[in-house]
Amino acid sequence: MTCRTLLTGATGTLGTALRPRLLEAGHDVLAASRSPPDHGDDDLEWVAMDLADGTGLRDAVADADVVVHAASAPRGDSEAIDVRGTERLLEAAADAGVSNFVYVSIVGIDDVPYSYYEHKLAAERAVEASAVRSTIIRITMFHEFVAELLGTVSRLPVWPLPTGIRLQPIDVGEAADAVVGRATPEPAGRVPDIGGPAVRTVGDLARTYRDARGLRRPIVRLPIPGKTAAGFRAGGATCPDRAVGTVTWDEWLAERFD
């Protein structure tokens, strides 16, 4: 049986990796965005949907067997989008009789005190409390996201960075493969975390990034006080026992900058 799957966040970093993989796995994909592209892929349908006010949400979910919820607002109003928006989507999914609501979450959201993570945790709790049966999959930071963060200092003559923070970045394609593996009509609850191949410090990641880009910039430790940075330094956003990804940071950089 073909699975009719609503993919939220279909234009995002993860959503872009999920689209071809869901199609390849045989899903009939309905891709959601606030502003769907005029000329999308021929093999999937797009729908306009806004989690902030619920526009288009009920129509989007009406025929779905599976929802893969990858929409999020890490740099926006995550309380409105990630918490209230997810609650709205869950309600619509329950009314539509969705079999499995797959929620994409982040490793360490209960270990690192950070407002976006608190909102992700509140969304997870809403998923668990909902009438819809669900799967929650937590993933570590994507290589893309780490590169984006390092890109913000790359023009500076000296790079001030919280060098002691420990991360475990993963290739987004491998993260997407793990999500597709869970996008079935059978809900699985909270499943084991998905992490990149190695835990590395920001200092080490930054040196490798700098060298891959052929830049010559000194990296200096930026002391960041407070519980959030302490949580990241303690490795709160890592899962060394679940180093599932195989594409290393060095390999990922070589692919982009060689």
- Binding residues for ligand NAP, per CB under 6 A? 8-15, 33-35, 49-52, 70-74, 81, 104, 106, 120, 139, 141-142, 145
CB of 18 vs ligand NAP, minimal distance in Å: 9
Nearer Cβ to ligand NAP (33/184)? 33
Query: By C-beta, is 50 or 111 nearer to ligand NAP?
Result: 50
Q: How many CB atoms lie within 10 A of CB 24?
A: 9
Helix pair 249-257, 202-212: axis angle to 10 deg = 20
Residue 76 or 221: which CB sits closer to ligand NAP?
Answer: 76
Tell me the C-alpha distance between 57 and 24, whole Å: 25
Write down the least CB distance from residue 160 to ligand NAP, Å: 22
At position 78, the amino acid (one-letter code) is S
CB of 158 to ligand NAP, least distance (A): 26
Q: Closest CB to ligand NAP among 145 and 164?
A: 145
Can you tell me the distance from the alpha carbon of 200 to that of 252, in angstroms, rounded to the nearest whole number?
14
The helix/strand/coil state of 137 is strand
Task: Please state the closest distance from residue 66 (CB atom) to ligand NAP, in A.
Answer: 16
Residue 194: phi, psi to the nearest 5?
A: -120, 115
Contact 52, 80 (CB under 8 A): yes
